[in-house]
Structure 1
Amino acid sequence: MEAVENVRIVDESEDAEAEHTVTDEDSESVDLAEVISPTFGFTEKTWRTDLCLVVEGTKLYVAKVILSLASPVFDALFQSDFKEKSSDELELPGKKLRDVLEFLRCIYPNKCAQINRDNARAILPILEEYQVLQLKPRCEVVILETVTEETSTDELLQLLKEACLYDLKALRARCIFLISSRPCDALDESYCKSFPSASALNEIFVDVNTSMKRKLAELEEDTKENELFKQYITSEIRSRTDFKCDPKKHWEQKTVVLTDLGFDNYCENEGIELNMWGVPLKVKTSELGYSGSSPFGTMALNVDVKNVGPNKITCDVNMHSILVNRQPNGNNLVKFQEGVIKKDRQTVSFEIERISIMKDFDNGFLVNKKFGIIAQLFMSKPNLESPQ
Structure 2
Amino acid sequence: MDEMADEKENETSTNSSTVNFAERSWKNDFTLIVEDTRFCVAKNILALASPVFDRMFESDFKERTTDELELPGKKADDVKEFLLAIYPNTAFPMSRENALKVLPLAEEYQVLNLKQRCEESLMGSIDVFTAIDELYRLIKESHLYSLKELQKRCVSFVCEKPTDEIKRANREIVLPREPLSYILQNLNERLVSNLKDLKSANVLLNEQLETYKTWKNYFSKATRKSMFPKLDSDLVWKRRTVIFTMDTEKRKPLEEKVSLWNTEMEMNIVFYSDRWYDGIQSTLKNINKNQIECIWEIQFAVVNKLPANDHLSFKYRVVFKEGEQFADWKLVGLSDIDDKSKGFVDDEGKVQLEVNLFMSEPKSLKALNL
Same fold, TM-score > 0.5, yes or no:
yes
Cα deviation 1:127-160 (Å, max 9, x = unaligned): 0111111122221222222213443232222111
For structure 1, the residue ranges without an aligned partner over 5 or more in a row are: 1-35, 275-281, 323-334, 358-370, 380-386
- Does 2:122 align with 1:143? yes
Give 2:74's aligned residue. Answer: 95
Equivalent residues in 2 for 1:305-344, closer than 5 Å: 318-320=301-303, 337-340=312-315
Give 1:166's aligned residue. Answer: 145
Q: Which letter maps to 1:319? A: V
- Does 2:111 align with 1:124? no
Alpha-carbon shift at residue 54 of structure 1 (Å): 0.8
Alpha-carbon shift at residue 91 of structure 1 (Å): 1.0
Calculate percent identity across the aligned residue pairs: 29
| Change beyond 3 A, Cα 1:259–1:317 | closer
- Does 2:281 align with 1:300? yes
Equivalent residues in 2 for 1:181-220, closer than 5 Å: 181-187=160-166, 189-191=168-170, 194-220=173-199
Contact 2:35 2:75 in 1 (8 A): yes
TM-score (norm 2): 0.62
Cα deviation 1:37-66 (Å, max 9, x = unaligned): 47x412222222332111111221222222
Q: Between the two structures, name the one with larger relative contact order (CA 8 Å, sep ≥ 6).
A: 2
- CA distance in 2 between partners of 1:343 and 1:127 (Å): 73
Give 1:375's aligned residue. Answer: 353
- CA distance in 1 between partners of 2:39 and 2:192 (Å): 57
Give 1:179's aligned residue. Answer: 158
Q: Which letter maps to 1:256? A: I
- CA distance in 2 between partners of 1:248 and 1:83 (Å): 102
Q: How many residues align?
A: 301
Cα deviation 1:71-121 (Å, max 9, x = unaligned): 122222323333233222111111111111111111111325232233111
Give 2:90's aligned residue. Answer: 111
* Higher mean C-alpha displacement, 199-208 vs 140-149: 140-149
- CA distance in 2 between partners of 1:248 and 1:183 (Å): 47
Bigger share in helix: 2
* Higher mean C-alpha displacement, 152-161 vs 123-132: 152-161
1:118 counterpart SS class: helix
Q: Which letter maps to 2:243? A: V
Equivalent residues in 2 for 1:10-25, closer than 5 Å: none
- Does 2:22 align with 1:47? no
Alpha-carbon shift at residue 239 of structure 1 (Å): 9.3
Equivalent residues in 2 for 1:24-35, closer than 5 Å: none
1:119 counterpart SS class: helix
- Does 2:317 align with 1:350? no
Give 1:10's aligned residue. Answer: none
Q: Which letter maps to 1:167? A: S
- CA distance in 2 between partners of 1:113 and 1:92 (Å): 23
Alpha-carbon shift at residue 229 of structure 1 (Å): 3.8
Alpha-carbon shift at residue 168 of structure 1 (Å): 1.9
Q: Which letter maps to 2:193? A: R
Contact 1:301 1:352 in 2 (8 A): no
| Change beyond 3 A, Cα 1:147–1:255 | closer
- CA distance in 2 between partners of 1:120 and 1:234 (Å): 65
- CA distance in 2 between partners of 1:97 and 1:190 (Å): 33
Contact 2:140 2:176 in 1 (8 A): yes
Give 2:243's aligned residue. Answer: 256
- CA distance in 2 between partners of 1:193 and 1:125 (Å): 24
| Change beyond 3 A, Cα 1:295–1:220 | farther
| Change beyond 3 A, Cα 1:155–1:373 | farther
Give 1:285's aligned residue. Answer: 268
